[in-house]
Amino acid sequence: MSATANAASGSSPSNVASYKIIDSTLREADQWATNPLSRDTKVAIAKALDSFAVDYIEITSPSSSEQALEDSKAIAALGLKVEAGVGSVGLVVGASSFSSDVSHEKSLEKIQESAVEVISYLKSQNVETQFSFEDTFRSDLVDLLSLYQAVKEAGADRVGINDIIGGTTPRLVDDNVRTLRGVIKGDIECRFHDETGCAVGNAVTALEAGATHIDTTVLGIGERNGLVPLGAFSARMLVAAPEYTKGKYNLKELKALETVVSEAVNINVPYNNPVTGFSAFTHKAGIHAKAILNNPSTYEVFDPAEYGISRNVAINSRVTGWNAVRSRVDQLGLVMTDDEVKAVTAKIKQTADTRPLTIEDTDNILHAFHAELQKA
């Protein structure tokens, strides 16, 4: 049993080591940001997504406004390596009793009739198509299976399930994806919102159960609590399928990509953002810091160097330990015995009890202590 032993059990084939990423940042940012994105900003985001090498970029529906149409043309003209959503169409229909009561009154039969008609037309035009229900987890999946089969037979390239309210759990995802996998050959796309904090857990579980494509956004932006954050998902998959993940995606581009997007929609990268949050690779407590310095994998699930990020052991705290201080003493080129390092560690802990210490403060304490030793 290890952190990388994520292969699905049971009959479904796991796609943990063959998943694809459909990034919806451009679409969601437009719906979500207080201010509309300029075309230059959209182009910068599209280019950064291309550098990271996501598999698909989903764009704002060109029908939502004249400007959106022109922006879509500009992105299509960039000649990105990635599939930029202009040669493919996604159809989304609400099917739960909630949305069919409220948003429209179409019966499942009517939905099937319209969907088959649209997909048949799109296929006749050689357009890649995806079909999904908006709120699969509050629908009766068994009722929907025949509809999924019908759209698949009509030529849909991919079917999708969608937790638009962020209400599902890994266990329900496992049940639903296995059921759908049992009747549908080919690609299954999953979209998970994050209102109850389970989006990434749901995504990896979906792949284990046989889904093939996961929808993400950079930093998880999107209506309400957004959806699967690309960074957290990439970290999850770096652990679950390191070779595939490192070989396919340019992880070192994540930080630049997140910077472009956070500036575009005017948000801060959360302090606890996986991979790039400011404390993600800072270690402080004494016993942890000792182990980190000896063997980083003791308290790190992956090497931050995979993302081009370096680790940091903070010693400016009452819970620092003498091993971490020893490392800093050595970095500073100060010569001390272990007993002397232990003595100066006690001094740091004592000072940290009385006032906040910066890294510079602790360095000053080390230098002053060393100077005293030289004098004695």
Using CB under 8 A as the binding rule, the residues of this chain from 202 to 261 that contact a second copy are: 202, 204-205, 208, 219-221, 223-226, 229, 232-233, 235-236, 239-240
Sites for a second copy among residues 51-80 (CB under 8 A): 60, 64-68
Sites for a second copy among residues 104-133 (CB under 8 A): none
Please tell me whether residue 160 binds a second copy under the rule CB under 8 A: no
Please tell me whether residue 264 binds a second copy under the rule CB under 8 A: no
Kindly state the smallest distance separating residue 153's Cβ from a second copy, in Å. 24
Sites for a second copy among residues 266-295 (CB under 8 A): 267-268, 270-274, 277, 279-285, 287-288, 290-291, 294-295
Among 45-53, 78-86, 193-201, 250-258, which window interacts with a second copy (CB under 8 A)?
193-201
Rounded CA separation 341/370 (Å): 10
Kindly state the smallest distance separating residue 155's Cβ from a second copy, in Å. 26
Member of 55, 187, 195, 253 binding a second copy (CB under 8 A): 195
Half-sphere exposure of 250 (CA within 13 A, CB side): 14
Rounded CA separation 122/198 (Å): 34
CA distances from 290 to 297, 328, 335 (A): 12, 12, 19
Give 43: exposed, middle or buried? Use CB within 10 Å, 0-12, 13-18, 19+: middle
DSSP letters for 63-122? TS-HHHHHHHHHHHTT--SSB-SSSEEEEEE--SHHHHHHT----HHHHHHHHHHHHHHH
Please tell me whether residue 309 binds a second copy under the rule CB under 8 A: no
Q: Which is catalytic among the residues 213, 288, 367, 370?
A: 288
Please tell me whether residue 165 binds a second copy under the rule CB under 8 A: yes
Is-catalytic flag, 288? yes
H or E element in which residue 217 lies: none
Member of 101, 153, 303, 330 binding a second copy (CB under 8 A): 101
Rounded CA separation 189/211 (Å): 6
Please tell me whether residue 102 binds a second copy under the rule CB under 8 A: yes
Pick the closer one to a second copy by CB: 124 or 272.
272
Rounded CA separation 24/1 (Å): 34
Spatial CB neighbours of 351, under 8 Å, sequence gap ≥ 6:
357, 361, 365
Catalytic residue ranges: 288
